Structure 1
Amino acid sequence: MRHGVDKKCVCGVAVGYPLDTVKVKIQTEPKYRGIWHCVWDTYRQERVRGFYRGLSLPVCTVSLVSSVSFGTYRHCLAHICRFRYGSPDAKPAKPDITLSGFASGLVRVFLTSPTEVAKVRLQTQTQTQQRRPSASWPSAAPPMCPAPPARSAPRPKYRGPLHCLATVAREEGLRGLYKGSSALLFRDGHSFATYFLSYTILCEQLTPAGHSRPDVLGVLVAGGCAGVLAWAVATPMDVIKSRLQADGQGQRRYRGLLHCVVTSVREEGPRVLFKGLTLNCCRAFPVNMVVFVAYEAVLGLIRGLST
């Protein structure tokens, strides 16, 4: 069962990664006029590979991060219920769920920050494809002067996720690997509190009379809606996180979280804080439908083994 959950998490990351790449580019590069402009420009310059840069690291770590997130939530909730109600199996109140979700988001930051830095740097690293001149139709007359030697395209700074992490650590130190972690703390803390709370409330609303849990369709709907609501809360800090983490490939623009917020809003207006919201929500609904179905299946298996 655990391997099935891991495979679903990995597949979810792989399927949603192109949307994540487009989202990060829109958030960090003001030149894009919208989603389709970003998609076309990325494809024109880098072809399909441009949408999958940095994919290997999230795929390798998604199972660990998901396990830590959901495990922290369950353990924190059990300890709160034991402390407040005398039993870890007692029904938790809404503040208990919110606090446990918040703790889950905070713990997650320490694992994901280096991965996010490498992912964002690779996604925003432009690598233009060189086109070879056609040799099928020679020119009618030879050129009078020899053509100057063609300049080779500059090599990309980062050759892959591990090389990116090593380069950032060497050039920027340990702080570089945790760049944008303050924005990541705000993003994940509040969004995971919203995530688990909204899922619990929706499950209660979708549970048929006389049953203790919703059916599979109810879990699908509750999980998808919870993912959308969580990203609606997370997107403003997600924009700031992406900008802070990308701000290391050239001349640095931002001195910190507050300076990034003020500068971004002053230059591009308040709407800048919601760049990528549509993509986040479109990706969140199907991914979190699958995540919570797997989550409930694992909980059902654990309950069956413990009885």
Structure 2
Amino acid sequence: MDFVAGAIGGICGVVVGYPLDTVKVRIQTEPKYTGLWHCIRDTYRRERVRGFYRGLSLPVCTVSLVSSVSFGTYRHCLAHICHFRYGSADAKPAKVDITLSGCASGLVRVFLTSPTEVAKVRLQTQTQSQAQSRMQTRRPSASGLTATLPMCPVPPVSPDHRPKYRGPLHCLATVAREEGLRGLYKGSSALLLREGHSFATYFLSYAILCEWLTPVGHSQPDVAGVLVAGGCAGVLAWAVATPMDVIKSRLQADGQGLRRYRGLLHCVVSSVREEGPRVLFKGLGLNCCRAFPVNMVVFVAYEAVLRLRHALPT
């Protein structure tokens, strides 16, 4: 039931948070954006509402599996640790037990999420890459004579400006064909660093906040307590995950045109040298704003399914 509850919670969360996730990825990968509202306005002006949901179908199809594995792994790791240390899987876990189980949950996610993250980032950023290519092909020559109408018709430099990726599955197939299996796991080193400590923070902060918000005489917090604990846990997790999230997004978007980065360390050094240390915190405010409502929904749905199971007769 932990796996089922995690799947339902994950689907609810991705539907709520995907538009802001698109904005976050574009802010992190496109230096032209000066802030949140600039990116939102530009995306809406170019692509309308549909632009905020580019690449959504694949996360919706896969997030149930990923979230299921994440919550299920956490609960099962915690049960095994408690059984090993205290002799019972139902024993109250220590904070270090929760931290280790959360970290294991995050690391397991990487093997499932890396290909979908590559497809999501490529689809979310391909419009900007195409726009830049069109600007380069239309750039005036040094003589300044390109504004003059030619005497004879001149064929366009690039007659086909259709999107390179027609959808998530086409994107995955194209990346696998052009870049091999390694292309599907591009940025996975940054993803490993992001998921491990962020999920440890996620589950630990949720457990601590639930304990604080549980009314006297009760064993669990009420719905309001779960909402607050889930939202705050999401914010804290993204606060520690954002630097590696920026690097992950840049590495995964790097296959759109000329390769800029040779690896994780080169991406970190180049990004900081070109844009300053603040680049590692691009999208931090947006991540936190998105994380609160998303994880409120995730944990409320997760806890509701678990409590429904206990309420139903066996």
Match of 1:273, SS? helix
Shift of 1:216: 1.1
What value does the CA root-mean-square deviation take over the aligned residues? 2.4
Partner Cα distance (1:144, 1:166) in 2: 41
Instruction: Give yes or no for contact 2:12–2:298 (8 Å, CA) kept in 1.
Output: no
- Taking the TM superposition and a 5 Å limit, the aligned residue runs for 1:195-234 are 195-234=202-241
More displaced stretch, 101-110 vs 277-286: 277-286
What is the letter of the counterpart of residue 75 of structure 1? H
Match of 1:170, SS? helix
Shift of 1:51: 1.6
User: Which has the bigger relative contact order, CA under 8 A and spacing at least 6?
Assistant: 2
Shift of 1:43: 2.2
Instruction: Give yes or no for contact 2:9–2:299 (8 Å, CA) kept in 1.
Output: no
- Taking the TM superposition and a 5 Å limit, the aligned residue runs for 1:40-189 are 40-126=41-127, 152-189=159-196
1:193 and 2:200 are equivalent in the alignment? yes
Map of 2:143 onto structure 1? none
Q: How many residue pairs get matched? A: 294
Match of 2:126, SS? coil
Change (3 A) 1:305 1:86: farther
Shift of 1:14: 2.6
Map of 1:278 onto structure 2? 285
Change (3 A) 1:95 1:5: closer
Change (3 A) 1:46 1:92: same
Structure 2 portions without partners, runs of 5+? 135-148
Partner Cα distance (2:181, 2:21) in 1: 25
What is the letter of the counterpart of residue 73 of structure 2? T
Map of 1:291 onto structure 2? 298
Shift of 1:290: 1.5
Map of 1:9 onto structure 2? 10
Structure 1 portions without partners, runs of 5+? 131-142
Partner Cα distance (1:3, 1:91) in 2: 23
What is the letter of the counterpart of residue 65 of structure 2? L
Percent sequence identity is 84
What is the letter of the counterpart of residue 156 of structure 1? P
Partner Cα distance (1:301, 1:264) in 2: 48
What is the letter of the counterpart of residue 166 of structure 1? A
Shift of 1:61: 0.8
Partner Cα distance (1:8, 1:102) in 2: 19
More displaced stretch, 289-298 vs 172-181: 289-298
Partner Cα distance (1:144, 1:269) in 2: 45
Listed one character per residue, the Cα deviations across residues 233-284 of structure 1 (whole Å, up to 9, x for unaligned) are 1111100000000011111111111111111111111110111111111111
1:235 and 2:236 are equivalent in the alignment? no
Partner Cα distance (1:263, 1:249) in 2: 18
Shift of 1:155: 2.0
Map of 1:24 onto structure 2? 25
Shift of 1:146: 8.1
Shift of 1:60: 0.6
Match of 1:9, SS? helix
Partner Cα distance (1:165, 1:303) in 2: 40
Change (3 A) 1:82 1:5: closer
